């Protein structure tokens, strides 16, 4: 499958997309990342215009922590069950500075993002932000060819 993505310089973005990335950066300030020092923020715009953010939350028992994207998505699905995410921006701060490279979500977050798309039958437009460039992808499904979905769990 051809991956449909666009590469932008931060200055080329629309005001709305820039604002969502700024909200992700702001959310990164609330990261609890004493172990990695890598502070990630995710900002999601819902179908009704509500913005929800999340940040990574680490734990001394390392696998118990959770990435920013899943913190935001699970919060959205528990607090706004009927609402779908239209756009999600992800950005990170390392050693006090926003990363130059875009931040791409881990495989587990992609799987959770994909489930959200499946629930709502709508794509999530994604913005992976860095100071050097911003990558835009039209849906999580684009990032996950041959993905696992719940339809396989149904007896047919």
69 is a catalytic site residue = yes
- Cα–Cα nearest to 36, from 89, 99, 128, 102: 99
User: Of these, 20, 23, 33, 129, which contacts ligand THU (CB under 6 A)?
Assistant: 33
Residue with smaller CB distance to ligand THU, 103 or 141: 103
Residue with smaller CB distance to ligand THU, 22 or 30: 30
Distances (CA, A) of 106 to 46, 48, 77, 79: 22, 27, 19, 24
Binding flags for ligand THU, 60-79, as an x/- string (CB under 6 A): -----x-xxx----------
Let me know: does 24 contact 71? Beta carbons within 8 Å.
Answer: no
For residue 39, the minimal CB distance to ligand THU (Å) is 8
Span 89-118, contacts to ligand THU by CB under 6 A: 90, 103, 105-106, 109
Instruction: For 51-78, give the DSSP string.
Output: EEEEE-B--SSGGG-B-HHHHHHHHHHH
- Give the integer Cα–Cα distance in Å for 146 and 156: 20
Does position 40 interact with ligand THU (CB under 6 A)? The reply is yes
Residues in touch with ligand THU (CB under 6 A): 33, 36, 38, 40, 56, 58, 65, 67-69, 90, 103, 105-106, 109
């Amino acid at each position: 499958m051809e991956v449909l993505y666009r590469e932008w310089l931060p200055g080329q973005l629309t005001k709305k997309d820039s604002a969502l990335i700024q909200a992700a950066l702001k959310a990164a300030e609330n990261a609890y990342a004493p172990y990695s020092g890598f502070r990630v923020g995710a900002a999601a715009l819902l179908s009704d215009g509500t913005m929800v953010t999340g940040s990574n939350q680490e734990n001394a028992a390392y696998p118990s922590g959770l990435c920013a994207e899943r913190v935001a998505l699970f919060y959205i699905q528990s607090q706004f069950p009927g609402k779908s995410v239209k756009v999600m921006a992800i950005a990170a701060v390392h050693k006090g500075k926003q990363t130059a490279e875009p931040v791409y979500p881990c495989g587990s977050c992609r799987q959770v993002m994909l489930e959200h798309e499946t629930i709502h039958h709508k794509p999530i437009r994604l913005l992976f932000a860095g100071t050097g460039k911003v990558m835009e992808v039209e849906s999580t499904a684009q990032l996950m060819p041959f993905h696992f979905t719940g339809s396989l769990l149904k007896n047919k």
